[in-house]
Amino acid sequence: RSKSAGRNCFTIYDEAMSAELEARNTLEGDLRDAIAQCQLEVHYQPFVDALSGVRRGFEALVRWRHPTRGLIPPDQFISLAEETGLIVPLGEFVLRRACADAAGWPSDLMVAVNLSPIQFKEAELFDMICAALADSGLPPQRLEIEITESVLLERAVENHAFMERLKSIGIELALDDFGTGYSSLSYLTAFPFDKIKIDKSFIRNLTHQPRSSAIISAIVTLARGLDMSVTAEGVETCEEFERLKVLGVNFAQGYLLGRPQPIEGIQFDEQAKPSRRDAA
Ligand code: C2E
Ligand code: MG
Ligand code: MG
Ligand code: MG
């Protein structure tokens, strides 16, 4: 900062630090504005029944339509939102948007919403979820909440009670990114999950490494024993999809089956599509 300080390594370190801090502060301010100015969008990615290929629902995934930087993916701002507490209003926006959108879909389709562990610390979370359901008219049975393993490790007693409350009103619970965290398998038995989502890193190696098949097969067996269903995330190729069916996963999600997209791009009424017969 000061001209007389000279270019010793301490100053360089300081400058790098303050540049990073400044960039962060800018991004934080921008994110605050983004929430206030409705620059956040919710995109939807389908998941299908693995055996029949029938679409069962969509996962809501947030994106930030930045005025100068374009569309920013969640990996670039969720952790900042968590550190600054902005995840609370952001998460409320996504949940309300997703419930409102899903209320207009055919009634056999679910909507899955990701919740951050930080949101779990909010005393008002349960009331907020109930209000989002009531305001949108979405039946709780059509809402699935996705949480990651970290929720099982921290504040386990409180979080367990909270999950039981969600279940008691009919909301489904999915354990997201399974296999990437550090939780012990015994946690699985203790928490009331309906579904395990196997992280895409396991799917990626599936067709090349027999060991990945063994892991998925073990997860499927475990889930069955616990009366939970299994979703494979990140399914990109037909080979992966075929292999996963043989391994017995219940649901599949990934670019092969559909990319996340704005609601306007989603075709809901299959019957409304022009058929072959019309063209003939
Ligand atoms: P996630 O919940 O595990 O969501 C799945 C991610 O995998 C999405 O990334 C999706 O676009 C991506 N994906 C889906 N299919 C494929 C595939 O075939 N190949 C590959 N390579 N990727 C695939 P996205 O949308 O960038 O979201 C990243 C993460 O950000 C999410 O991971 C979730 O943890 C977090 N996130 C997204 N939206 C929200 C939100 O509203 N709230 C919270 N708390 N977290 C969110
Ligand atoms: Mg998810
Ligand atoms: Mg995931
Ligand atoms: Mg994730």
The model's pLDDT over 8-24, given as tens digits with 9 standing for 90+, comes to 666 666 777 788 888 88
Could you read off the pLDDT of 223-260 as tens digits, one per residue?
Answer: 999 999 999 999 999 999 999 999 999 999 999 999 99
Q: What pLDDT score does 12 carry?
A: 66
Element housing 218 (H / E):
helix 210-225
Rounded Cα–Cα distance for residues 56 and 35 (Å): 30
Rounded Cα–Cα distance for residues 234 and 38 (Å): 29
Rounded Cα–Cα distance for residues 139 and 171 (Å): 9
Q: What's the gap in Å between 268 CA and the centre of ligand 3?
A: 24
Could you tell me how far CA 268 lies from the centroid of its own chain? Answer: 21
Rounded Cα–Cα distance for residues 113 and 98 (Å): 7
Q: Does the ipTM surpass 0.90?
A: yes
Rounded Cα–Cα distance for residues 174 and 264 (Å): 26
Rounded Cα–Cα distance for residues 159 and 179 (Å): 20
Per DSSP, the three-state class of 237 is coil
Q: What's the gap in Å between 234 CA and the centre of ligand 4?
A: 11
Q: What pLDDT score does 154 carry?
A: 84
In ligand 1, the atom with minimum distance to the C-alpha of 256 is 18
Nearest CA to ligand 1 atom 2: 114
- Residue (of 86, 105, 104, 83) closest to 94 by Cα position: 86
Q: What's the gap in Å between 145 CA and the centre of ligand 2?
A: 9
Nearest CA to ligand 1 atom 15: 254
Could you read off the pLDDT of 143-162 as tens digits, one per residue?
Answer: 999 999 888 888 889 999 99
Residues 6+ apart with CB under 8 A from 205: 211, 212
Could you tell me how far CA 92 lies from the centroid of its own chain? Answer: 14
Q: What's the gap in Å between 115 CA and the centre of ligand 3?
A: 12
Start-end of H helices in 37-168: 78-84, 87-102, 117-120, 125-136, 150-153, 156-168
Rounded Cα–Cα distance for residues 235 and 249 (Å): 12
- Identity (one letter) of the amino acid at 217? S
Q: At 278, is the pLDDT very low, low, confident or very high (cuts 50, 70, 90)?
A: very low
Of 42, 59, 76, 78, the one to substitute when testing ligand 1's pocket (max ligand atoms within 8 A of C-beta) is 78
Rg (CA), the chain: 21
**Residue ranges with CB less than 5 Å from ion ligand 3:** 176-177, 233
